[in-house]
Structure 1
Amino acid sequence: MRLKEGSFLWYLYLDKVHCLLSVRSVKALEEYFHILDVHGKNTLNDVLFYHFLHHVTDLKKAQIYLVFDMLDWNAVGEIGFEQFYMLVCMLLAHQDHLEGQFMYRHSRPVFDLLDLNGDGRISAENFAKYRFLFNIHKQELKDLFHDFGLTGDNLLNYQEFKMCTIIYANKLQRRQKTEEKEKGDRKRRSLYSKRKCHIK
């Protein structure tokens, strides 16, 4: 998943430590929300939500409606600004490669969103549906449930999920450092080969 360049969200930035928007950005986002709210109800229905996400991301239709259903946790067919704000922070965290940090910093709200049944536990199956929002690979998700599902029922309670977010944030940081190092190495090799060609 990625944000489309030039869209409104492209110009917003998350604080890298707390994974929150600045007051100025929240005010701008609130104005944007009111522009999207063509019915003047301080909510977005599924059609408005779909067109918004289709415009700002490359998500597929099925993924967009999946996200809407997750945010519409009380099943009223609309989401308010609070859910919209949470979604935008998730999208920006993904764009800025802060998914692990976001999950750790906001573990309770993320847990509540992923707890689709409201029984205080997240199933591996439900989490897998939304892994694209957090850049979690299939095998990583299996490993997290294996390592932290202490009861062995393929479910995570909040404490297990919180521990899981700490480990995942560390894994993501290591993965990003490795990718950056490999990218730097490729760039250096490319420059070196160009210099050799130039010298000949």
Structure 2
Amino acid sequence: MRVKEGSFLWYLYLDKIYCLLSFRNVKALLEYFRLLDVHRKNTLNDVLFYHFLHYVTNLKSRQIRMVFDMLDWNAVGEIGFEEFYLLVCILLSHQNHLEEQFMYCHSRHVFRLLDINGEQRIGTTNFHMYRFLFNIKREQLREFFHNFNITGDHLNYKEFKIYTIFANDKAKEKQRMEREKVEKRKRLKSQLKKIVYQIGVCQRFLKSNLFNKHYE
């Protein structure tokens, strides 16, 4: 899943620590929501929602319908601005590779979204259906339920919260290792430049000495 370049969401900034929009961005998003709300009901129905996501993302039709059903938890056929705002933050966190950070910061909201049946627990089926929103791979999902599923075939909120902490720490460690690799490459490149420069100086020095000896 990705946000299409040039779309409205492409120009919104998501805070990398709290995974929320700034006040200015929220105001801009609210105006955008009002433009989409052609029926002036302060909500978006499934048709308006479909065209919005189809325009700003590369999600498939089936996935868009799934997301709408997930947000429309009370089955009224519409979603309000709060659900719309939450979805935009999810999309931007995915775009900026902050999925684990978002799940950690907003674990309660994510849990409620995935708890479609309102049973205060998440099963493997629901998690598998919506893993594309948070860029969770199949093997990660299997590891998730194997390591954190303590109470049975479903996860309660405490287990899910523990997972978000673990996943966020793991993601940060991966980012740290990647930064170290980049810094190491930069140091090696700098050292290589110094060596090349020193070789060049030595070559010029030798040529100068040979030239002087030749004309002595």
State the partner residue of 1:80.
80
If the length of structure 1 is used for normalisation, what is the TM-score?
A: 0.88
* Identity among equivalent pairs (%): 65
| Partners of 2:71 and 2:160 in 1: CA distance | 19
State the partner residue of 2:5.
5
Contact 1:146 1:154 in 2 (8 A): no
CA deviation profile, 1:85-133 (whole Å, cap 9, x unmatched): 0000000000111100100100101100100110100011101111111
Alpha-carbon spacing, 1:62–1:185, altered in 2? closer, same or farther (3 Å) = farther
Alpha-carbon spacing, 1:178–1:125, altered in 2? closer, same or farther (3 Å) = farther
Q: State the Cα RMSD in Å.
A: 2.2
Alpha-carbon spacing, 1:59–1:150, altered in 2? closer, same or farther (3 Å) = same
Alpha-carbon spacing, 1:16–1:159, altered in 2? closer, same or farther (3 Å) = same
Superposed counterparts of 1:94-109, under 5 Å:
94-109=94-109
| Partners of 2:187 and 2:54 in 1: CA distance | 38
State the partner residue of 2:137.
137
State the partner residue of 1:124.
124
Unaligned runs of 5+ in 2: 193-216
If the length of structure 2 is used for normalisation, what is the TM-score?
A: 0.82
What letter corresponds to residue 85 of structure 2 in structure 1?
Answer: Y
Deviation at 1:184, TM superposition (A): 8.2
| Partners of 1:180 and 1:50 in 2: CA distance | 38
State the partner residue of 1:25.
25
Deviation at 1:173, TM superposition (A): 2.7
What letter corresponds to residue 37 of structure 1 in structure 2?
Answer: D
State the partner residue of 2:155.
156
Alpha-carbon spacing, 1:179–1:62, altered in 2? closer, same or farther (3 Å) = farther
What letter corresponds to residue 170 of structure 2 in structure 1?
Answer: K
